Amino acid sequence: MSLHEYQASRRIVADDPPFYSLVMAAMWKADSGNLWRLKQQFPDVWIELEKRYNAPGGLLEGERL
């Protein structure tokens, strides 16, 4: 890892995002090997990410803005 990556992680954490949003973001950015690892560790997050990706506006059934 690099200083740039460390500094970027500090900026991200300063916004205080929910943990699972970070996992979802990591899934969006991951290469195939890392995505496989994330899917193994967080299968429910992967399922929800797929459902929301395929749902209009990311809203699941029964949800509204």
- Whether 7 maps to a domain, the answer reads no
pTM: 0.88
- For 39, the domain range is 17-58
- Whether 63 maps to a domain, the answer reads no
- Whether 40 maps to a domain, the answer reads yes
- Whether 33 maps to a domain, the answer reads yes
- Whether 10 maps to a domain, the answer reads no
Residue 7 has pLDDT above 90, yes or no: yes
pLDDT digit string, tens, across residues 17-51 = 999 999 999 999 999 999 999 999 999 999 999 99
pLDDT of 46 reads 98
> Is the CB of residue 34 less than 8 Å from the CB of residue 46?
no
- Whether 1 maps to a domain, the answer reads no
- Whether 11 maps to a domain, the answer reads no
Number of domains composing the chain: 1
> Is the CB of residue 9 less than 8 Å from the CB of residue 1?
no
- Whether 22 maps to a domain, the answer reads yes
